[in-house]
Chains A and B, each alone.
Chain A
Amino acid sequence: MAPILEIRDLRKVYDGGFEALRGVTLDVEEGEILALLGPNGAGKTTLISTVCGITRPSGGAVRVGGHDIGTSFRAARSLIGLVPQDIALEPFEKVWNSVRFSRGLFGKARDDARIEDILRKLSLWDKRDAQIKELSGGMKRRVLIAKALAHDPRLLFLDEPTAGVDVELRKDMWDIVAELKASGVTIILTTHYIEEAEAIADRVGVINGGALMLVEKKARLMARMGQKQIELQLADRPDTLPEALAHHRLEPGPTPDTLIYTYDTKAERTGIRTLLNDLDAAGLVLRDVQTRQSSLEDIFVDLVKGPQP
């Protein structure tokens, strides 16, 4: 099956000369959740805005469901729902009317049952007759999602859905994303919270300086890039390590009686067994052993710290 979103060498240079996108190429398969990770100003929002038609591309091509966003913009945009980063809503309008407006704007015939369904799923049904200005920040975000879903999009963009949102609401948002995925919607979300990508994404893309630095399955990314550490707690750590242990590159741990051994899960030999043997030979007694996998955050920091494209 063709990808629902195909981005080819997408470029964007703003009028001031700022190069926000430097040839981004990306395919997104139907039904997956892709998290675009990157620091502020990396080009995440520009990428979304360009696909959605808010920003004009300077070069490259984008196809949504096989439709070019320039030449068949109607067909392409009909498939897309966008939840923007900032809460932008007409304050005096009622929730119901606002969501109905969005459906109409996308050329879909009025369908009150469908809108009721969406509002109920987002726990907005009780607020349907409330003016938007009366709602809390979290409820407003839900209205934005309801508006984006009003025309039954197949591809949903969530631009930093949990920026400035408290922990509880963030959890709520993740649940909503999981439900949407279950209903078959493809989701692309941007975030600079690594834990968010780690919690809900199938694939993770890292964008920095307007270039996509990598896109990979989350699990594989962590396995490929991940380093593991063993924390060894000793019954009695000597002041100087025995000669026999020098080549193991042990580092002192967080407490005086611990040592850290770092190894690469990709490597053919992890060296764990020889280490344990050598410890034993040196007469050091182990009290406890712990292993730690490096998080996506460590991987991410490694990537964006590297040379800029």
Chain B
Amino acid sequence: MNWTAIAAIYRFEMARFFRTLMQSFLSPVLSTSLYFVVFGAAIGSRIDEVEGVSYGAFIVPGLIMLSVMTQAISNASFGIYFPKFIGTVYELLSAPINFLEITLGYVGAAATKALFIGVVILGTSSLFVDLIIAHPGAMLAFLVLTCLSFALLGFIIGIWASNFEQLQLVPMMVITPLVFLGGSFYSISMLPPFWQNVTLFNPVVYLISGFRWSFFGMADVPVGMSLLAIGGFTLGCVAVIAWIFKTGWRIRS
């Protein structure tokens, strides 16, 4: 393994993040505050509690997941798409590194940024509601795994995309709806039975449910299923990336 190269990519990508630190920091703080004003104060005042948890606190895991997933995807997809767009990808391809090392550098940096934003949102939330974290270890594990797996997905999207529209397409058309319909702001049990069953086909449900369990000890689906889902998703992304690297798809002519 060429660890020096991985570190170089990681540092280079993080430098981009630090150049826009204020923006990276302020935007999640602002959007979280807005969600709390709208869902927590305006609507939440009419929904007292969900399964014994105040509505304001209940939406915190979903909010974090929403931002972490979209940020991990956009950071990783942009990270690898931009070199392709401006042509600097030649340097990656001609360096004595393999694709695993390239991926570790880019995905590691994107996951770090998403994790940072997740932590910022958690901190901001604690200003609005009293938060208890029942299983901190599991919480962290879910958070890190989500950052990683969605950064992997973003990396795939970045390699696939051949223009900026496509770069936005999957996050906007697929991920946002899945997250919104995945129980970010409500419990699955609040839905009619038919829609409860439909919802179980949404993979994001398992992630949010597991993450919420680590906070409040309650879940829409068993925690084991959640772990299985996120593990399977991560492996799926790794498999796709392995295939991309083997064939050089959209990277190496």
Q: Is B90 interfacial (CB 8 A cutoff)?
A: yes
Near B by CB (< 8 A), chain A positions 33-80 give 52-56, 73-78, 80
Q: Is the CB of B96 within 8 A of A107?
A: yes
Closest to A92 in B: B19
Q: Is the CB of B91 within 8 A of A147?
A: yes
- In-complex Cβ contact of A88 among B2, B4, B86 (8 A): B86
Give the segment of A97-105, A205-213, A228-236, A288-296 that binds chain B: A97-105
Q: Is the CB of B88 within 8 A of A106?
A: no
Q: A217: shortest Cβ distance to chain B, in Å?
A: 29
Residues from chain B with Cβ under 8 Å of A15 in the complex: 253
Give the segment of B7-15, B65-73, B117-125 that binds chain A: B7-15
Q: B60-94 toward A: CB 8 Å interface, digit per residue (1/0)?
A: 00000000000000000000001100111011111
Q: Is B97 interfacial (CB 8 A cutoff)?
A: yes
Q: Is B248 interfacial (CB 8 A cutoff)?
A: yes
Residues from chain A with Cβ under 8 Å of B19 in the complex: 92
Q: Is B46 interfacial (CB 8 A cutoff)?
A: no
Q: Is the CB of B252 within 8 A of A54?
A: yes
Residues from chain B with Cβ under 8 Å of A52 in the complex: 90, 93-94
Of B11, B95, B97, chain A has the most CB atoms within 10 Å of the CB of B95
- In-complex Cβ contact of B7 among A84, A104, A147 (8 A): A104
Closest to A83 in B: B90
Q: Is A27 interfacial (CB 8 A cutoff)?
A: no
Q: A16: shortest Cβ distance to chain B, in Å?
A: 10
Q: B248: shortest Cβ distance to chain A, in Å?
A: 6
Of A97, A104, A109, chain B has the most CB atoms within 10 Å of the CB of A104
Given contacts A56-B253, A88-B88, contact A106 B95 (CB under 8 A): yes
Please measure, in the bound complex, the distance between the C-alpha atom of A100 and the C-alpha atom of B5, giving whole angstroms: 11
Q: Is A251 interfacial (CB 8 A cutoff)?
A: no
Q: A231: shortest Cβ distance to chain B, in Å?
A: 49
Given contacts A53-B93, A75-B96, contact A105 B252 (CB under 8 A): no
Please measure, in the bound complex, the distance between the C-alpha atom of A82 and the C-alpha atom of B88, giving whole angstroms: 12
Q: Is the CB of A107 within 8 A of B97?
A: yes
Q: Is the CB of B91 within 8 A of A77?
A: no
Q: Is the CB of B88 within 8 A of A78?
A: no
- In-complex Cβ contact of B252 among A56, A90, A100, A107 (8 A): A56
Q: Is the CB of B12 within 8 A of A101?
A: yes
Q: Is the CB of A90 within 8 A of B96?
A: no
Q: A76: shortest Cβ distance to chain B, in Å?
A: 8
Q: Is the CB of B4 within 8 A of A107?
A: yes
Q: Is A117 interfacial (CB 8 A cutoff)?
A: no
Residues from chain A with Cβ under 8 Å of B9 in the complex: 101, 105
Closest to B105 in A: A105
Near B by CB (< 8 A), chain A positions 84-124 give 84, 86, 88-93, 97, 100-109
Q: Is the CB of B253 within 8 A of A91?
A: no
A contact residues vs B (CB 8 Å cutoff)? 14-15, 52-56, 73-78, 80, 82, 84, 86, 88-93, 97, 100-109, 147
5 sample A-B contacts, Cβ–Cβ < 8 Å, listed by A number: A54-B94, A56-B248, A56-B252, A93-B12, A101-B8
